[in-house]
Amino acid sequence: MGKKLTVAVVGATGAVGREMLKTLHARNFPATEVRAFASARSAGERVPYGDAELTVRELKEDVFADIDLAIFSAGGATSQKFAPHAARAGCVVVDNSAAWRMDERCPLVVPEVNPQALEAHNGIIANPNCSTIQMVVALKPLHDAATVKRVVVSTYQAVSGTGQKGMEELERQVRDLFNGREPENTTYPYRIAFNVLPHIDVFLENDYTKEEMKMVHETVKIFNDPAIRVTATCVRVPVFYGHAESVNIETEKKLPAAQARAILAQAPGVRVFDNPRELIYPMPYHCAGEDETYVGRIREDESIPNGLNLWIVADNVRKGAALNAVQIAEEMLGRDLLRVRDKSVFL
């Protein structure tokens, strides 16, 4: 590949796409050229990249021939259609949608947790769900120390997880309520302002939502441990940025809270923020714009012999999406994996 490294961001006009461009620049990713792509209706728009601007190009099937790396954040349908074209052209894809996460041909990667999975990539690498990412970053060092058997997680997810339309709906509804108007619901089935919705994504046959089952299946795949049991309840809350999670784990070996706190304090990507006597615990506003996964309220579950409770908070647009994708790209670059070995895998 030489010194030339051409990088594309697909879905560059969206909230996560813009954050991806911002993150690439802020982390000095060694791209010779960065290109921005979106749908035909967005072609010609300009998006910021550092102090400069990039002109958005129309995404087409034949644009990947001279691109080394494409980071996708344009929705599952777009990824399903265009990512195979990229891989067949020799362009490595890091995809932020759910399209490829459970495909056995595609590694599902959080660099602090399972970077070795990248070694077997076939051209498409999947970025996990935002709520899964922050949870496994915190749980991996505890799993290594004491083997996590079971996870019970309840999430409190920000409206930015729905994209720009979610943030606009919350802002509009708050303004309407403050001005005596009845708010309209267009993005969510019920009002999100001053409310919580125990419903993210569609309901499935088992009465869990798709978001909840993503957390179940993705955790097993990332840990490469079919024995780990996960159950989730995912809730949308009226917060702009930052997903919070109440996580209860049961481990094979006893892991005292003090030891867990010490392990997490040394864990990559984790910031322990935990001193209840001083009212120190993570909240979404601490984490907005931050890269770390914050962990607090670390305490033993007194109802079982080997249990812990954790409160985990992270910026869902950064670590939950853009940052993790860029970290995957950095890891591949460091391992000399930015190439497609077999272009026939996604024929």
d(CA 106, CA 108): 6
Per-residue pLDDT of the chain (347 residues; tens, 9 = 90+): 456 999 999 999 999 999 999 999 999 999 999 999 999 999 999 999 999 999 999 999 999 999 999 999 999 999 999 999 999 999 999 999 999 999 999 999 999 999 999 999 999 999 999 999 999 999 999 999 999 999 999 999 999 999 999 999 999 999 999 999 999 999 999 999 999 999 999 999 999 999 999 999 999 999 999 999 999 999 999 999 999 999 999 999 999 999 999 999 999 999 999 999 999 999 999 899 999 999 999 999 999 999 999 999 999 999 999 999 999 999 999 999 999 989 999 97
Q: Residues 6 or more apart from 104 whose CB is under 8 A from it?
A: none
Helix (H, G, I), strand (E, B) or coil at 149: strand
CB 148 within 8 A of CB 130: no
Name the active-site residue from 85, 121, 243, 286: 243
- Residue 90, class by beta-carbon neighbours within 10 Å (0-12 exposed, 13-18 middle, 19+ buried)? middle
What the block records as the tokens of 201 is 């994504």
What the block records as the tokens of 18 is 């813009």
Pairing state between β 46-49 and 52-58:
antiparallel
Tell me what pLDDT residue 223 has: 98
Q: Residues 6 or more apart from 290 whose CB is under 8 A from it?
A: 271, 314, 315, 318
Helix (H, G, I), strand (E, B) or coil at 279: coil
What the block records as the tokens of 252 is 């094979």
HSE-up of 125 (CA within 13 Å, CB side)? 33
- Indicate if 130 belongs to the active site: yes
- Indicate if 25 belongs to the active site: no
What the block records as the tokens of 278 is 């001083």
DSSP track, 21-54: HHHHHHTT---SEEEEEE-GGGTT-EEEETTEEE
Residue 274 amino acid letter:
D
Tell me what pLDDT residue 1 has: 43
What the block records as the tokens of 210 is 């798709």
Name the active-site residue from 91, 106, 130, 234: 130
d(CA 35, CA 46): 11
First to last CA, the chain: 23
Strand order in the sheet with 52-58: 46-49, 52-58, 33-38, 6-10, 69-72, 92-95, 124-126
In the chain, where the domains are located: 6-127+322-334, 131-316
- Cross-strand partners of 271: 294
CA distance readout (Å), 343 to 45, 70, 86, 92: 32, 15, 9, 10
Q: Which CATH class is domain 6-127+322-334?
A: alpha beta
Architecture of domain 131-316: 2-Layer Sandwich (3.30)
Helix (H, G, I), strand (E, B) or coil at 211: helix
